């Protein structure tokens, strides 16, 4: 059993089960520091934080503590793309090459925006070695991205694009935005500023790293204590340094996940995996989307499309990279198999490496956000996130 922690924040009546589950995550599941938030439209109904933001458990997790959330960033990026669709700058079903002619090279001329968003483009890894410093030079990076040959026939299968997905989407946004803003800047100006978010895709120099939690890998006996869903097949590829999973997770080369709290990583715009922010900010955006508050620069028709229960294009299927069944829809995850979230199939969101998660539940109008600093090992369904989601379903 873990130590008893003091939980800070507020919970509306009827949402007590979420607070109970949050507290149990510290007692039973090795939580070091974490935050969870739920918004009913634009109104916070759960806003909790507890524990420590450092590995040595010396510095308290505070109300404004942010954390690198890895692929939970993809949800914020998908909202930016949705806003471009709302403005008529993009069409989900149009070829990417319509907006980015050079992208058509090496058999990519028919790949649609939707296929790119839903990990069907076969661009999960790059042939050329790309590092963090290369990612900062967007013009040179665009040449590398455009030249890449698909790893499978686009549209026939899907395989998670852990980092490259955001690079392609970022360049696409830069091409169609009238001011040629980067995706991180669009998010900052059109989403974060109006909603008062503490969430960044590209951390500004003026934001202190003292606000950012230090991540901690789960190692040794803690794996036996806290992890029940270790991805053995992916682990074999990582150990052998070969296979598609290994290639995708190391392309570009951004460094060990536990070392994400460093300026050189967080300052580079990585729209698939480089976001840093609070659980409150994740929940705020998803709450606005689920509740139809009209605060997002996304029209009702596009929001309704994001909430589509199921289409022929996003049925569950074997994921070539994650080596499990998965389901994607317009840049978001949907429930699949035993991995369930939200009240029904309309719910959508994205998980992040280590356990973070944000999602919208259109059936209830609720938005959910969870961030932590102990990195779990589950491919999709971290037990701590699952405990909180299941508790939320018991509320109301």
CA dist 75 → 42, 163, 333, 334, 351 (Å): 18, 13, 9, 12, 8
Is the separation of the CB atoms in 162 and 321 below 8 Å? Answer: yes
The C-alpha atoms of residue 322 and residue 229 are separated, in whole angstroms, by 13
The C-alpha atoms of residue 343 and residue 390 are separated, in whole angstroms, by 10
β-strand pairing of 357-361 with 199-201: unpaired
Check if 245 is active-site.
Answer: no
Can you read off the two tokens belonging to residue 140? Answer: 């040179």
Q: What are phi and psi of 171, to 5 degrees?
A: -65, -35
Which one-letter DSSP state was computed for residue 271?
A: T
SS3 assignment for 52-115: ECCCCCCCECCCCCEEEEECCHHHHHHHHHHHHHHCCCCCCCCEHHHCCHHHHCCCCCCCEHHH
CA dist 182 → 111, 139, 167, 305 (Å): 22, 12, 11, 25
Beta bridge partners of 158: 319
Looking at the annotation, which residues are catalytic? 71
């Amino acid at each position: 059993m873990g130590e008893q922690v003091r939980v800070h924040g507020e919970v509306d009546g009827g949402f007590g089960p979420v607070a109970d589950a949050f507290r149990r995550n510290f007692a039973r599941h090795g939580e070091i520091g974490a935050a969870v938030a739920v918004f009913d439209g634009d109104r916070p109904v759960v806003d909790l934080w507890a524990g420590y933001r450092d590995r040595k458990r010396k510095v308290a997790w505070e109300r404004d503590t942010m954390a690198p959330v890895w692929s939970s960033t993809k949800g914020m990026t998908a909202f930016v793309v949705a806003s471009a669709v709302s403005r008529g700058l993009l069409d989900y079903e149009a070829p990417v090459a319509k907006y980015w002619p050079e992208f058509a090279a090496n058999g990519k001329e028919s790949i649609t925006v939707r296929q790119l968003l839903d990990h069907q483009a076969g661009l999960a890894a790059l042939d050329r070695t790309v590092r963090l410093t290369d990612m900062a030079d967007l013009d040179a990076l665009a040449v590398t991205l455009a030249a890449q040959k698909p790893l499978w026939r686009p549209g026939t299968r899907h395989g998670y694009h852990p980092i490259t997905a955001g690079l392609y989407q970022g360049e696409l946004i830069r091409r169609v935005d009238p001011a040629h803003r980067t995706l991180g800047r669009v998010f900052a100006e059109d989403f974060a500023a109006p909603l008062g978010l503490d969430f960044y895709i590209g951390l500004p120099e003026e934001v202190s790293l003292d606000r950012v939690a230090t991540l901690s890998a789960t190692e040794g006996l803690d794996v036996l204590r806290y992890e029940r869903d270790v991805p053995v097949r992916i682990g074999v590829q990582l150990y052998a340094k070969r296979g598609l999973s290994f290639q995708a997770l190391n392309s570009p080369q951004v460094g060990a996940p536990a070392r994400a709290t460093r300026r050189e990583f967080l300052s580079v715009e990585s729209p698939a995996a480089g976001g840093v922010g609070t659980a409150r900010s994740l929940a705020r955006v998803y709450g606005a989307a689920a509740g139809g508050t009209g605060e997002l620069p996304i029209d009702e028709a596009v929001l309704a499309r994001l909430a589509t229960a199921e289409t022929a294009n996003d049925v569950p299927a074997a994921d070539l990279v994650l080596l499990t069944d998965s389901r994607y829809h317009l840049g978001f995850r949907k429930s699949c198999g035993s991995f369930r979230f939200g009240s029904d199939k309309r719910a959508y969101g994205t998980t992040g490496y280590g356990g973070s998660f944000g999602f919208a539940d259109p059936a209830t109008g609720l938005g959910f956000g969870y961030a932590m600093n102990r990195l779990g090992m589950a491919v999709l369904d971290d037990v701590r996130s699952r405990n909180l989601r299941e508790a939320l379903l018991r509320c109301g």
